[in-house]
Amino acid sequence: MQVTELRGDRHTIGALHGSRHADEIHRGMAVYDHLFHDFVGLDWPTARRQAQRFLPAIERHFPAILDEIVGLAHGAGVDFDDILTLNCRSEISLTQANGGCSAFSLARGNQWLAQNWDWRADQQHNVVALRIATNDAPALISLGEAGMLAKIGLNEVGVGVGLNAIRSRTCGTGLPIHVALRKILESPDFAAAKRVATDDRVASPAHFLLAGSGGDAVGLEVQPDPPGEISPHDGIVTHTNHLCASPGLADFPRADSHSRLDRLQRCLDNACLKDMRTEPDEINVETLFAILSDHDNSPVSICRHHNPAQPESERMETLFSVVMNLDRRELHVRLGKPCRPLSALRVSL
């Protein structure tokens, strides 16, 4: 895994992203074409038409990103609507899909943000790491799927964000999830990042785990209405794939979401108790990757492996794991399973 460097104005950044990852973008479009059909019975042309309804919110809340979408489409040799559809994939169908991912933030010596990203194995080879430097926003690092504007990452002012999918049939107005994540990563400070969820709003439910250098952290269960908020307890916020702070919103999680959340909290409590006997700085990257590698209750564990016993549409596994030190502006990623990664990478800003 390598970092793709993207510098310039927004159109240039998009064009570079599209040309350097054209093969991955085309493969990703094929993956989501199949997924849209399986989950909601839509073909790609119909999904493109559905994506159009999110343009007004983007034009209102984040118009600058449209130039990047134009460039991305040009670089990859596809249409604007194809890139828009990729970036609206959650709103088009994934409100009907079971989610994975286990995420946490931790304030011990430094402010940490970490998670496993669990998804379909056919997207493994379409994962990219982007370092983006434009002339009107903080530089940022994003891990995600080729052709998408952002997913999980941090920026040069120490703002970081993680993502957990939420299965809910709710979808309204607001920014698409992946557009909102990019706006968060371009925020000049923690307060501005939080306002993307509270003021701009997000079209479909998800959990954004937001953290900032200096000890800021909050879990935001985003949706078209005001988000549910989860404050740190003893410096810790944890989340998997069910709603914890949004009683007015219905969700339909996997049963293992609750067991993974309980296990994640126990692992963090044990790690913190052990290391607090010495110094807070004893919490380190390896400590946190060990938690993300946990196999308790396998195959539906924090570190998720292929499970042929599940129906094909329900299968997912850990495609990458990330540990971020926001005070140091460092991001550590393991591609594949954290217990036996395909490759590893450290990126800093």
All domains of the chain in start order, with CATH: 3-7+98-348 (3.60.60.10)
Distance from C-alpha of 94 to C-alpha of 36, rounded to nearest angstrom: 8
Q: Give the residue from 144, 114, 2 showing the smallest Cα distance to 338.
A: 114
Instruction: Count CA within 13 A, CB hemisphere, residue 202.
Output: 33
Per-residue pLDDT band for 180 (boundaries 50, 70, 90) equals very high
Give 276's pLDDT tier (boundaries 50, 70, 90). very low
- For residue 247, whether the previous peptide bond is cis, meaning omega lies within 30 degrees of 0, is no
Per-residue pLDDT tens digits for 216-260: 999 999 999 999 999 999 999 999 999 999 998 999 888 899 999
Instruction: For residue range 49-82, list pLDDT tens digits in order.
Output: 999 999 999 999 999 999 999 999 999 999 999 9
Q: Is the pTM of this model over 0.85?
A: yes
- Residue 280 pLDDT level (bands cut at 50, 70, 90): low
Rg, C-alpha atoms of the chain: 18
- pLDDT band for 277, please (50, 70, 90 cuts): very low
Side chain identity, residue 147 = G
Compute the distance between CA of residue 173 and CA of residue 323 in angstroms, rounded to an integer: 32
Tell me the torsion sign for CA atoms 9, 13, 15, 16: positive
Q: How far apart are CA 222 and CA 246, in angstroms?
A: 9
What pLDDT does 273 receive?
A: 66
4: how many CB neighbours lie within 10 A of its CB?
Answer: 15
CB-based contact 232:217 (threshold 8 Å): yes
Distance CA(316)–CA(311), nearest Å, equals: 10
89 by DSSP, 3-state: which?
Answer: helix
| Mean pLDDT (the chain, rounded) | 94
pLDDT (tens digit per residue) in 129-169: 999 999 999 999 999 999 999 999 999 999 999 999 999 88
> What is the per-residue pLDDT for 169?
85
